[in-house]
Structure formats: C-alpha cells, structure tokens
C-alpha cells in the first residue's frame, strides 16, 4: 500500500509546489521506488479547460482526455509517469460529484454537509489506485489560509488519521523573504504559515523554504525550533538557472533523505542520478545557440505556453544547443510587415489558441516561414493557419478561412477550409458534437492514433508510420480540400486511421515546414525529447550555420 506525501504551500502562491513535488517524485524514482503525483485544486471550475490562459496558464491534457492543471505537465516531464483523469481534481468537480449523488438519492435523505460528505469525496479521490505505487504525492493548490482550501486541508487531516501511523507525512513549502533595507532573511512569514497550518490540525514533517540564496545555519535552527520540525528537515530551495537542476539541487539539500527518514525507511537504496546529471550537463554546456520565435497571442504570460517552451528546451538538450525563445505577439502582424520582426530567427513556431484575435498575424508568420525557407512548426491552430495560408496564397482559394471565426463573428465571411468537427471515432465508438454544446470537456481530447505517409518527412522523424498523440480542439482541416492543396505542394502526410481527419501537413519542397493538429509538446521530457521538437531544433541549428 502506498505511502502518502501531502504537499502544501504558505505565505504566497507561485513558489513552485508543483516543481518541488515533481523533483521529489524523480528523486524517489531514482532510488528505485514507483510514484504517482496528484493535484487537488480549490477553485470552483470543474476543470481548467474553460479558463483563459491569462487566468491559469496552459491546460495540460492527459492520454485519457482530462483537461488538467499545468503542474501535471511538470509531474510527467520529471517522472515519465503518464498522468490520468484520476490525478487532477478541483472543488468544482468534488461539489459536482456530491450534488449528483444527492440528486440520485445516494445519501438516503441525509443533510449534505462539507464534513463528512465533501471531505469523504476528497478522501475517496486521494485513495484511488493507492495499491499501485510505493509513494503517492498529493499537492494541494493555493496557500494555507485560503477559505476555499479548508475542505482539502480537513480531508487530508482526516485521511492521515484513517491510515496507520507513519503512512502519511506533510511537506510545507514557504517563502523566506530577503529584506534588502535591513539585510536580513526573515523567518517570521514561515512561522506564521506553519502556525496557521497547525491551527487546522496539520503539522509539517518537512519544511521547504524558497529563498534567493543559502539559508544560514542560525535561521535553519530557528525555523526548526519555532516550527517544530527536525533541523535536517529544513530544506533550502534556492532559485535555479534551470528547473531541470531541481532534482540534483533538492538531493544536495537532503530532501529525499528527509522524506525517507520521516517514513523511517532505513537503510534506503542510494539514488541513481546519472540521467539528471547528463541533462544538467547538456543544459549548462551547450555547443551552440539557436533563436526561435513563438508567434502567439498569449505571449504576455509565458505559462500559457509552458509545455511548448519546455519541449523546445528538450529539443535543445537532444541537440546540445541552447534554445533562446522570443515571444512575438501575433497581433503586431495585423498592422505591420512581419519581416522586420522575424528576420534573424532560426525557426518559427506558431502554437494553438482559440478565437479569431491574432490569427491573421499567425497566417502571415506561416507565409514568411514558407517564402523565406525558415523552419516552421505549427501546432493545432498553428497548423490550421498554415493550411489557410497555403489555400489563399498558393492554391488560389482567396476567401479561405475557418468556420470558427465566422461562428465568433456571427456572419459568413470565409470559405471554411477549417470546419467545426461534429463527429469522430474514439476507440470503438463514434462521438458526436453540436455547435451549441457546453464548452467544457466537449473537444476532441486525449490520445488518438494517426497513420503517416511512407517516405514523408514526419515518418522519417518518428521512425514509424503509426503514432499516438494528444489532441485538444473542436475545429479540423476539411479533408475535401486535400486534393487541391496537395496539387499546390502541401502534403497531407498524417491522417486519422479512417482517413477522414488530417493530422499532419508538410511542404515537401521546404527545408522544414510541418503543421500538426495534435499537441506533441505534452509528451516531451528532458530525458526523452519529443522527436518533432528534437528535429525542429536540429533544423534550426542547421539554419543558424547558414546565416
């Protein structure tokens, strides 16, 4: 049966609980243990799928079609364990489940209350699959003191009491601010955060303290004394140049040993960290640099494209080069020539997105890449914009556009080479959707198979003609335009198994121009870079040598 590690946060949000959880999971794996990581979010949205990227960053999609918090991306990138629907839950989903049960009469007429009904639902979620792994790491979103987080804190308190003694521990992540005026590192915010945690019945076994620099021994001893933890369980989490140094940095601080000590696991296997040492060596000792433009419309918040940025880093690791990313607002190209903004880049990536805003700029970016033979990777909407560009400027379909934009505007302006997907095959059954369906969870979500054309560039990159990739979209390139576009030179090199849905397009006479309907960035890892990103960065590296 699994041992449980509950990770909470205090003082401020965005301290890196997700990264700390992922790094700890990687360290436990390095010692030979199996792990699974979970995220419990207190917000009332059922999932982050309907949130603006400005609100919550990117939406991470699992193989089984769940729209989840971006922290699950960290979990996968660091552990290689594919996340599932049962690894992400929100208050919205919890309350929705409870109310559905109440409507069905499952509670036999009882008064429904936060305790025990909501907390029991949370506890049931935490326990899913507990017999499958050695360690279950559960991260509680938000910070201690948030009113919406109280049911989760109460649930994990109850859960730890329900389990045998020594099967659950608590790790609390806080901030040690540096007060420049007085030249002091202050422990008081952490003391207050732990006091708040203890007031609701939770006592941390391990303190992970974020700081800009080292924590002096005096402050460590003070934290241990006032927060009632062992001195060797006060772990410094300093700012790092790369997140992929985190497993090594946390190991050097003794985090994994502190966890094993808290569980009284002794002697413990020594960690095998060769893989992470190789990753760090490739990041800190590159043999060159490439410059990649990401032309998108959520560029003000880099978390909106978190997995893409990380996948490009992985591509750099594979090619032993540093990838310098520059974020370019697609809306600039609505009113300005893209050439001055895109000259000097070794590759261009156009990511996914929703709505018409910025799409004409993305089309111009695709046109620039095609005409100037700059390596181009279009993802989801980025592929659709490349198809529209080809239709307008090469295949002679002057009014080519997307049905999505006409729906948004409420008037028909385009010839829809991209249309609203109303039905598709998922496994052994057919899925049907209408335009007026609810927005949440109604897209083509999760892993789907694709068949690649023998001899195509993508088949060479993958080394196979059969692949499986994750999707998140409700609009699709219309296959009825395939013949006309292929006559113009745009090859449909990847299709759904039934041949009805285009998955990949490429210009065969271009050095490297590929558009994919799926999201390859979601499956990339530092120790296993996605082949598309590895080859995209390789192409950028070749371009950098020609410039």
Query: Distance between CA 24 and CA 4 in Å, rounded?
Result: 13
* Interhelix angle 17-30/274-284, nearest 10 degrees: 130
385 is known to lie in a ligand binding site: no
Most distant CA pair in the chain, distance? 75
197 is known to lie in a ligand binding site: no
191 is known to lie in a ligand binding site: yes
456 is known to lie in a ligand binding site: no
148 is known to lie in a ligand binding site: yes
The alpha carbon torsion through 149, 65, 21, 154 (nearest 10 deg) reads 20
271 is known to lie in a ligand binding site: no
Buried b (16+ CB within 10 A) or exposed e, 201-238: ebebbbbbbbbeeebeeebbebbbeebebeeebbbbbe
72 is known to lie in a ligand binding site: no
381 is known to lie in a ligand binding site: yes
13 is known to lie in a ligand binding site: yes
142 is known to lie in a ligand binding site: no
515 is known to lie in a ligand binding site: no
71 is known to lie in a ligand binding site: yes
39 is known to lie in a ligand binding site: no
Query: Distance between CA 296 and CA 379 in Å, rounded?
Result: 11
17 is known to lie in a ligand binding site: yes
Query: Distance between CA 21 and CA 75 in Å, rounded?
Result: 7
What are the structure tokens assigned to 489, written together? 């030179």
* Beta strands 178-179; 184-185: pairing state: antiparallel
434 is known to lie in a ligand binding site: no
Alpha carbon of residue 420 to chain centroid:
26
Query: Distance between CA 120 and CA 445 in Å, rounded?
Result: 29
490 is known to lie in a ligand binding site: no
- The DSSP secondary structure of 312-340, one letter per residue, reads HHHHHHHHT-EEEEEEEEGGGGGTS-SHH
371 is known to lie in a ligand binding site: no
15 is known to lie in a ligand binding site: yes
* Residues belonging to the active site: 380, 519, 521
Radius of gyration over every alpha carbon of the chain, rounded to an integer in angstroms: 25
Query: Distance between CA 382 and CA 378 in Å, rounded?
Result: 4
| Residues β-bridged to residue 320 | none
146 is known to lie in a ligand binding site: yes
SS3 assignment, position 446: strand
Q: Which residue has the tokens 């692949």?
A: 467
Alpha carbon of residue 79 to chain centroid:
13
| Residues β-bridged to residue 444 | 473
Known binding-site residues for L-glutamine equal 353, 381-384, 404, 474
Known binding-site residues for ATP equal 14-19, 71, 240
Known binding-site residues for UTP equal 13, 186-191, 222
Known binding-site residues for Mg(2+) equal 71, 139
Known binding-site residues equal 13-19, 71, 139, 146-148, 186-191, 222, 240, 353, 381-384, 404, 474
Known binding-site residues for CTP equal 13, 146-148, 186-191, 222
């Amino acid at each position: 049966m699994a041992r449980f590690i509950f990770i909470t946060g205090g003082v401020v949000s965005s301290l890196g609980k997700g990264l700390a959880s992922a790094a700890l999971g990687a360290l436990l794996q390095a010692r030979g243990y199996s792990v699974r990581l979970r995220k419990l979010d207190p917000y009332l949205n059922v999932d982050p799928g309907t949130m603006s990227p400005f609100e919550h960053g990117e939406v991470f999609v699992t193989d089984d079609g769940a729209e989840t918090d971006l922290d699950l991306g960290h979990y996968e990138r660091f552990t290689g364990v594919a996340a599932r629907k049962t690894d992400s839950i929100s208050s919205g989903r919890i309350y929705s489940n409870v109310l559905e049960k109440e409507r069905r009469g499952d509670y036999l007429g009882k008064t429904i209350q936060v305790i025990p009904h909501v907390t029991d639902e949370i506890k049931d979620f935490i326990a899913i699959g507990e017999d499958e792994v050695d360690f279950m790491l559960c991260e509680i979103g938000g910070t201690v003191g948030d009113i919406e987080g109280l049911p989760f804190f109460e649930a994990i308190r109850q859960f730890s009491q329900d389990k045998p003694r020594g099967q659950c521990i608590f790790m609390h992540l806080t901030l040690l601010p540096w007060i420049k005026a007085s030249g002091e590192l202050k422990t008081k915010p952490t003391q207050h955060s732990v006091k708040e945690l203890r007031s609701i019945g939770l006592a941390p076994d391990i303190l992970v303290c974020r700081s800009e620099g080292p924590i002096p021994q005096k402050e460590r001893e003070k934290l241990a004394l006032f927060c009632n933890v062992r001195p060797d369980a006060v772990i410094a989490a300093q700012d790092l140049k790369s997140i992929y140094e985190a497993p090594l940095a946390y190991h050097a601080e003794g985090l994994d040993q502190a966890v094993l000590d808290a569980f009284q696991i002794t002697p413990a296997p020594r960690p095998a960290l060769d893989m992470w040492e190789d990753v760090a060596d490739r990041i800190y000792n590159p043999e060159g640099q490439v410059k990649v433009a990401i032309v998108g419309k959520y560029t003000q918040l880099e978390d909106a494209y978190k997995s893409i940025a990380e996948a490009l880093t992985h591509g750099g690791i594979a090619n032993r080069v540093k990838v310098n990313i520059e974020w370019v607002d697609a809306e600039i190209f609505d009113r300005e020539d893209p050439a001055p903004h895109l000259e000097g880049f070794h590759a261009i990536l156009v990511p996914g997105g929703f709505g018409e805003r910025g799409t004409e700029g993305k089309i111009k970016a695709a046109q620039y890449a095609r005409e100037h033979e700059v390596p181009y990777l279009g993802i989801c909407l980025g592929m659709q914009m490349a198809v529209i560009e080809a239709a307008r400027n090469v295949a002679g379909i002057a009014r080519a556009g997307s049905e999505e934009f006409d729906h948004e505007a409420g008037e028909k302006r385009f010839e829809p080479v991209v249309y609203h997907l109303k039905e598709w095959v998922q496994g052994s059954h057919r899925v049907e959707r209408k335009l007026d369906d609810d927005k949440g969870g109604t897209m083509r979500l999760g892993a789907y198979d694709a068949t690649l054309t023998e001899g195509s560039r993508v088949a060479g990159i993958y080394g196979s003609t059969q692949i499986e990739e994750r999707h998140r979209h409700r609009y699709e390139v219309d296959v009825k335009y395939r013949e006309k576009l292929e006559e113009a030179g745009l090859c449909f090199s990847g299709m759904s198994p039934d041949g009805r849905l285009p998955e990949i397009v490429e210009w065969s006479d271009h050095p490297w121009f590929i558009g994919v309907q799926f999201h390859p960035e979601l499956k990339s890892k530092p120790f296993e870079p996605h082949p598309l990103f590895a080859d995209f960065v390789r192409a950028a590296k070749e371009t950098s040598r020609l410039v």
